[in-house]
Chains A and B, each alone.
Chain A
Amino acid sequence: MATTHASASAEPTRRDFLFIATGAAGAVGLAATIWPFISQMAPDAATIAAGAPVDFDLSPVAEGQIVKLFWRGKLIFVRHRTAAEIKAAQDTDVTSLRDPEADSARVKPGKDQWLIVYGNCTHLGCVPLGNEGAFHGWQCPCHGSVFDTSGRIRQGPAPINLPVPPYAFTSDKAIRIG
């Protein structure tokens, strides 16, 4: 049996097979070891539990009022729209919008008076001020973005409409967010 360098043979020798097997086992072991270190960075069970869907009672929210709440650390506006605000939101040429979206796609059917959107300007994240701006929706004080009564971007640098969080009506006057 040759004790010098492994010959450049076409097929792996028995010795090479051992080396390959050892190397492969080592690679598998390394990958299996690395996985928990990556996984531990995922949101932990307590954070996930704290981010569970939350119930919100709409009855104390008067017409024309905008209420703020937090879910998963993010601000959400709950707006009880007046008839005028609903009409202004619906009577809009959707094609003229920077981010075309009909008002009906942003509310639940039969519940036009409830607009629920995330409360951070889609430009750089400041909180827009309610009932301000040319469209009486919101206006962001940081760089002047203007949103309408459906939370859609009308003027200013923000690229998209205020996003709508996942929610559903659990009863006529209550929603579950998440």
Chain B
Amino acid sequence: MSGHSTYEPKSAVGKWFESRLPIMGLIHSSFVVFPNPRNLNYFWTFGGILAFMLVAQIITGVVLAMHYTAHADMAFNSVELIMRDVNYGWMLRYLHANGASMFFIAVYVHIFRGLYYGSYKAPREVLWILGVIIFLLMMATAFMGYVLPWGQMSFWGATVITNLFSAIPGVGEVIVSYLWGGYSVSNPTLNRFFSLHYLLPFMIAGVVVLHIWALHVPGSNNPSGIEKKTDKDVLPFHPYFTVKDAFALSCFLMVYVWFAFYIPNFLGHADNYIEANAAVTPSHIVPEWYFLPFYAILRAIPDKLLGVLAMFGSIAIMVVVPWLDSSKVRSGNYRPVFQIFFWLFAINAVILGWLGSKPPEGMYVVASRICTVYYFAYYILVLPLLGLFETPKSLPASIADSVLGRGGSGSAMASGAASSPSTKG
């Protein structure tokens, strides 16, 4: 975004407008000619997929809000009205509910890409932190959205999670009563969750703008972790990456359609088709699947406040990853020992998710504690120490070299031209 773009409008109207609001030039320089490393793999398509999912959720959400009633006595019925009587209402509802899950599938792939390839390392620290903020906003939005149908899981999930804040010493109880707007999760809670659920996605959109702006300062990372050196390393975003993103998106959409149309209730809970009842708690209160790892961490700690701190801490610690990782080598492709720990971390996250769905008894509690310890140990011990002791593979001389098989042991052909790892300071 520094300096003027090279865009030259062709028409007189175009020239007139562009000299007053250079938006075409901005789009041109950011999304048409912007240089991207030529060696990006399909993990790099998930940013575009996420942008699409944000727009999809906003559009389906806005049209759903035309028919939804945010009152405790009418919410469940209004959702059924949407499912039965609104033209294509069943489709809009299932697209929105399953869209949230697809949004999280994409964001987890996107985050794990960043962790593996060291995309959080200098000079992309702020980009990474903005991403953590987007992730937090997504979680808040999804949590409040799930309350809106006012089913049993909506109500009791809201009760459990809002009660967490009472763990805060001193002001905890007051905070909870302000969250609730009453003495328990009730109509005022539903109303304000609806208001905030409508608001937060637009805040996400704003942070996404910052996220892309921060990205466009250094440009994208790439699988080799080596910064661009010459123009041979890069290709313009359009048409090379627009078409690649479009292809990846259409594959992603097939998975989305499979869930939303063929098995629309697979990722949800049957109990949420029972109207909220303050007198009856479901036998197992489970959050939506994308919260399960954090739910497992929460329940692993026997103390209420420490459990809450651990749960929020497990996300907060992501903020400082750029400073925890001591490795001079950016990409996991050239860090063989790191790869082992990374995959253990990924599998550990999945196991934590599975444990979050289990009742907190017996072996499940023990396993949750072990997995929680590994989760934090990865950040606090593995990343700082590994960089000091690991011997990375030799890096290719440039992005172009890594693509054309010249140099570096991360590519198909080894060569003698090993260069020192290049990192920014």
* Chain A residues close to B by CB (< 8 Å): 26, 36-37, 39-42, 44-47
Q: How far is the CB of B327 from chain A (nearest CB, A)?
A: 40
Is the pair B85, A46 in contact by a Cβ cutoff of 8 Å?
A: yes
The contact of A36 among B84, B91, B246, by CB within 8 Å, is B91
A-B contact pairs, 10 of them (CB 8 A): A36-B87, A36-B92, A39-B88, A40-B66, A40-B86, A42-B87, A44-B67, A45-B86, A45-B87, A46-B81
Which residue in chain A gives the minimum CB-CB distance to B239? A19
Cβ of B63 < 8 Å from any Cβ of A?
yes
Chain A contacts of B86 at CB under 8 A? 40, 44-45
Q: With both chains docked as a complex, state the minimum distance between the C-beta of A112 and any C-beta of chain B, in angstroms.
A: 41
The complex places the Cα of A45 from the Cα of B89 at a distance, in Å, of 11
Please give, as numbers and ranges, the residues of chain B lying within 8 Å of A45 by CB-CB distance.
Answer: 84-87
Of residues 70 through 93 on chain B, the ones whose CB sits less than 8 Å from some CB of chain A are: 81, 84-89, 91-92
Given A36-B91, A41-B66, A44-B81, 17 other A-B residues pairs in contact with their CB atoms under 8 A: A26-B246, A36-B88, A36-B92, A37-B63, A39-B87, A40-B88, A40-B89, A41-B63, A42-B87, A44-B67, A44-B85, A44-B86, A44-B87, A44-B89, A45-B85, A46-B81, A46-B85
Interface SS of B by simple majority = helix
Give the bracket for the number of chain B residues in contact with chain A.
Answer: 10 to 19
Name the residue among A26, A37, A41 with the largest chain B CB count within 10 angstroms: A37
Could you say which residues of chain B place their CB within 8 Å of the CB of A36?
Answer: 87-88, 91-92
Docked Cα-Cα span, A57 to B91, in Å, equals 42
Q: Does B59 contact A (CB under 8 A)?
A: yes
Q: How far is the CA of A87 from the CA of B87 in the complex (A)?
A: 49
Contact B81 A40 (CB under 8 A): no
Q: How far is the CB of A15 from chain B (nearest CB, A)?
A: 12
In contact, A40 and B85 (Cβ under 8 angstroms): no
CB pair A37 B59 closer than 8 Å: yes
> 4 tightest CB-CB pairs across the interface, nearest first?
A36-B88, A45-B85, A44-B85, A46-B85
Which residues on the A side are within 8 Å of B91 (C-beta)?
36
Residue of B66, B87, B92 with most chain A CB atoms under a 10 A cut-off: B87
Q: Which of B66, B89, B246 has the most CB of A within 10 A?
A: B89
A44 to B92, CA, bound (A): 14
Cβ contact within 8 Å between B84 and A40: no
Per the 8 Å Cβ criterion, residues 13-71 of B in contact with A are 59, 63, 66-67
Cα(A36)–Cα(B56), bound, Å: 13
A46 to B85, CA, bound (A): 6
The CA of A74 and the CA of B17, in the complex, are separated in Å by 47
- Interface residues in B275-318 by Cβ distance below 8 A to A read none
Query: Which A residues are in CB contact (< 8 Å) with B85?
Result: 44-47
Bound state CA distance, A174 and B160, in angstroms?
58
With a cutoff of 8 Å between Cβ atoms, the chain A residues found around residue B92 in the complex are 36-37, 40
- Nearest CB to that of B88 among chain A residues? A36
Q: Contact flags (1/0) for B87-102 with A, using CB distance below 8 Å?
A: 1110110000000000
A41 to B62, CA, bound (A): 11
Closest Cβ of chain B: how far from A52's Cβ, in Å? 14
Q: How far is the CA of A171 from the CA of B425 in the complex (A)?
A: 92
Q: Measured between alpha carbons, how far is A58 from B246 in the docked complex, in Å?
A: 65
Report Cα–Cα, A47/B89, bound state, in Å: 14
Could you tell me the distance between the alpha carbons of A41 and B66 in the complex, rounded to whole angstroms?
8
In the bound complex, residues from chain B placing their C-beta under 8 Å from that of A44 are 67, 81, 85-87, 89
The distance in angstroms between the C-alpha atoms of A40 and B91, with both chains bound, is 10
Alpha-carbon gap, A47 to B67, bound state (A)? 12
**With A and B bound together, what is the CA distance between A37 and B87 in angstroms?**
9
Once bound together, how far apart are the Cα atoms of A40 and B66, in whole Å?
A: 9
Bound form: Cα–Cα A175–B246 in Å: 60
Docked Cα-Cα span, A26 to B243, in Å, equals 12
Q: How many whole Å from A100's CB to the nearest CB in chain B?
A: 41
**A126 vs B417: C-alpha distance when bound (angstroms):** 87
Q: What separation, in Å, do the CA atoms of A11 and B39 have in the docked complex? A: 34
Residue of B nearest to A37 (CB): B63
**Could you tell me the distance between the alpha carbons of A171 and B63 in the complex, rounded to whole angstroms?**
44
- In angstroms, how far is the closest chain B Cβ from the Cβ of A122? 30
**In the complex, A77→B409 CA distance in Å?**
88
A36 to B66, CA, bound (A): 14
Q: How far is the CB of A135 from chain B (nearest CB, A)?
A: 44
For residue A26, which residues in chain B have a CB less than 8 angstroms away from its CB? 246
The interface residues of chain B lying within 8 Å CB-to-CB of A42 are: 87
